[in-house]
Structure 1
């Protein structure tokens, strides 16, 4: 059975492109949450659902996760269940008849893509930090709104309890 997994980073983003590419799968799971964490409800449900012989299909490797460590963990779990992973934007290894060689090359390509995915996440964070620094220099960045004001009674109570050692 082919099991699809799609993910976008936020609720505002659209899954349509991935859903179209995964229209051939038997069952589809999708999340609208960042890939920086593995705490994604539909990812967990998909990992629980898969069985031996299933094929997990994603459009791109970074849909499963953004860090090499998380990707390795997820891929190991898929493999331990006896399922395989198919990444649609990776080159097909179907022309290689020797199964061991095909698996070796596939794993090597996946390792390269894992590195690229994690590097992209770092570049996003760097660009965001640069943008914030520039906006601060120009006086346009105020930061997020504070959850509590300085004289908030809940905050005062928390400080009081902290100082009392409670």
Structure 2
């Protein structure tokens, strides 16, 4: 079987471009999800795919970073795929399928994936460092405001802004934190933060 795996990090991003590339192969089945690549355990579709693969199956991704955002996660996933007797092919890397010797083919693929993994992680670490430097400079100038609050009076999301005021109203009416968590599907921390805001006023 040929499987495809596609992922984007947020709900408002589109999977269509990745899916279209994999359909051209073609693959027999595509597993898709909109989840952060920060950890493996929160990605149910990736876990479903890994459970289904068997010997000689091939997993296709458009890019290795769709599988994971750090070298350790990628190594764990790739080792699991190999342990099951399946193989991985990333469309942004050369395909060694025409190399007749299986051992040589696997060795070349492993070397290339290893280089790519650490190159990608190094680039992400550089981006994080530039972000930290930018935040430090913004703080010095007194213009750093931190991340926007999702559930707040100034939330850029109208729906979450509406929920914020509804929670505020509920707290003022005497509803418990547990009641509001259940009703609006937000975290306890969000309710406690809003509750703290009210107590300051």
TM-score by length of 2: 0.68
Q: Is the 8 A contact 2:89 2:95 kept in 1?
A: no
Q: Is the 8 A contact 2:58 2:89 kept in 1?
A: yes
Task: Indicate which of 90, 96, 100 corresponds to 1:97.
Answer: 100
The structure with the largest helix share of the pair is: 2
1:9 CA drift (Å): 1.8
CA RMSD of aligned residues (A): 2.2
- In the TM superposition, 1:47-62 aligns within 5 A as 47-62=50-65
Aligned length, in residue pairs: 153
Aligned to 2:35: 33
Q: Give, in whole Å, the separation in 1 of the partners of 2:93 and 2:132.
A: 31
1:4 CA drift (Å): 0.4
Instruction: Give the 3 Å change call, closer, same or farther, for CA 150–63 of structure 1 in structure 2.
Output: closer
**Greater relative contact order: 1 or 2 (C-alpha under 8 angstroms, separation 6 or more)?**
1
SS of the residue aligned with 2:6? Answer: strand
SS of the residue aligned with 1:36? Answer: coil
1:29 CA drift (Å): 0.9
Aligned to 1:125: 128
Instruction: Give the 3 Å change call, closer, same or farther, for CA 54–151 of structure 1 in structure 2.
Output: closer
Instruction: Give the 3 Å change call, closer, same or farther, for CA 26–74 of structure 1 in structure 2.
Output: same
1:86 CA drift (Å): 1.0
User: What runs of 5+ residues in structure 1 fail to find an aligned partner?
Assistant: 154-166
Task: Indicate which of 71, 76, 79 corresponds to 1:73.
Answer: 76
Per-residue Cα deviation, 1:9-39 (whole angstroms, up to 9, x for no partner): 2222222221111112111111222222112
Aligned to 1:7: 7
SS of the residue aligned with 1:22? Answer: helix
User: What runs of 5+ residues in structure 2 fail to find an aligned partner?
Assistant: 150-188
Q: Give, in whole Å, the separation in 2 of the partners of 1:110 and 1:45.
A: 23
Q: Which has the larger radius of gyration?
A: 2
Q: Give, in whole Å, the separation in 2 of the partners of 1:126 and 1:140.
A: 19
